[in-house]
Amino acid sequence: MADPQVKQIGKYKVEVIRDKCIGAASCVAIAPKVFDLDEDQIAIILSQDGNDDETKLLAAQSCPTMAIIVTNIESGEQVWPVK
Amino acid sequence: MNPPKPYRAKLEDKIRLNERFVQYKFELVEPNELAFSAGQYASIKVSDLGERRSYSICSSPAIKHGFELLVDLQPAGVGCMFLENLTFGQEIELLAPLGVFTIVPDKAETAIALVATGSGIAPFRSMLFEHLQVAQDTRPITLYWGMRHANLLFWEDEFEELAQSFPNFSFHPVISQAETAWPLCRGRVTDCLSTHEQPSGIGYYLCGSTSMITDVSKVLLKNGVTEQHIHHEKFY
């Protein structure tokens, strides 16, 4: 049985739509090991595995312009934004 | 600073400050204590789909079992609609505390200037409570708050009271569409900054729209203020 204390990593893949990003940086605040801002103040991905999947999804949901897409790698389904 | 963690809180009070701005008071449910630094914000879940919106905490960090948010009802987006439709006692989910927009412990900043437009005033209210009342910061602290109309200065009385109680605090409201009788600063916050002497050693904290931050930063840089002493938080 999965250890409930161990948070899942690796099921979700995140990507940033640069044209939608306004540099609000809420994603950086929530998942700082996954997201950062580049010199243009646009979000970039540092690592897909820096934070657990739940935190990555929260970070995506916190984006005011829905500039972060979350995809379930196993099923290929887009998890966020909800279609 | 404390890392963000999830909280549940319930709506305790709603103060309609004027036709555009509302102040919400929340009581923490679980966990029932929130430790944050003045200037930080909370990410609130505002829809069943999971959408979240960020709001600066405008209450004092000394209040540990609750927090207050300031909301601009224009434009009426998903966050505004969610908060407006809350009933008293209804619970919300949030992540807090977030952000790094706090008054930095920089000995080179021998005075502080807080520059806000509109709802950008929210984190500064928290900072003023913390630094004047709790930390008893004796450095000169000046607040410049820009609004279109004088009747929208919802916290004017609070800031006037602070100025009466703390001789090192000065409050300069700036009205861009002022009536003829308005006796104080008019125009943009950049105009008011130009009117008042800006000695060296001031740490500037800017909060408001991207255009205000850009315009004020340009003026400050032109006047010799270095980038490390211009701190900002953009509101969207």
SS3 A20: helix
Domains recognised in chain B with CATH numbers: 5-98 (2.40.30.10), 111-234 (3.40.50.80)
Put simply, whether A72 touches B (Cβ < 8 Å) is no
Q: What is the pLDDT of residue A2?
A: 46
pLDDT greater at residue B75 or residue B161: B161
Under a CB-based contact definition with an 8 Å cutoff, are residues B54 and A24 in contact? Answer: yes
Under a CB-based contact definition with an 8 Å cutoff, are residues B161 and B133 in contact? Answer: no
Interface contact flag, B236 A22, Cβ < 8 Å:
yes
Under a CB-based contact definition with an 8 Å cutoff, are residues B187 and B148 in contact? Answer: no
Give the pLDDT mean for A49-73.
92
Q: What is the DSSP letter of B129?
A: I
Element (H, E) at A55: helix A53-61
User: For residue A6, what pLDDT band results from cuts at 50, 70 and 90?
Assistant: low
ipTM of the complex: 0.72
Put simply, whether A21 touches B (Cβ < 8 Å) is no
Under a CB-based contact definition with an 8 Å cutoff, are residues B214 and B189 in contact? Answer: no
The answer to whether residue B41 scores a pLDDT higher than 60 is: yes
CATH for A12-80, options being 1.10.630.10, 2.30.42.10, 3.40.800.20, 3.30.70.20: 3.30.70.20
Tens digit of each residue's pLDDT (9 = 90 or more) over B109-119 = 999 999 999 99
Tens digit of each residue's pLDDT (9 = 90 or more) over B43-82 = 999 999 888 899 999 999 999 999 999 999 998 899 999 9
Put simply, whether A30 touches B (Cβ < 8 Å) is yes
Interface contact flag, B43 A22, Cβ < 8 Å:
no
The one-letter code for the residue type at B213 is: I
pTM for this predicted structure: 0.90
Q: What is the pLDDT of residue B235?
A: 67
User: For residue A44, what pLDDT band results from cuts at 50, 70 and 90?
Assistant: very high
Tens digit of each residue's pLDDT (9 = 90 or more) over A49-59 = 999 999 999 99
Tens digit of each residue's pLDDT (9 = 90 or more) over B140-153 = 999 999 999 999 99
Domain boundaries, chain A: 12-80
Tens digit of each residue's pLDDT (9 = 90 or more) over B198-234 = 888 999 999 998 899 999 999 999 999 999 999 998 7
% of chain B residues with pLDDT over 90: 78
Interface contact flag, B234 A23, Cβ < 8 Å:
yes
Contacts of A9 (CB under 8 A, 6+ apart): A49, A51, A52, A53
% of chain A residues with pLDDT over 70: 93
Helix locations, B118-155, DSSP H: 122-128
Q: What is the pLDDT of residue B178?
A: 87
Greatest alpha-carbon span in chain B: 51
The answer to whether residue A4 scores a pLDDT higher than 60 is: no
Residue B76: how many other CB atoms lie within 10 Å: 10
CA B108: distance to chain centroid?
Answer: 23
CA distance A31 to B219: 34
Interface contact flag, A24 B54, Cβ < 8 Å:
yes
Put simply, whether B98 touches A (Cβ < 8 Å) is yes
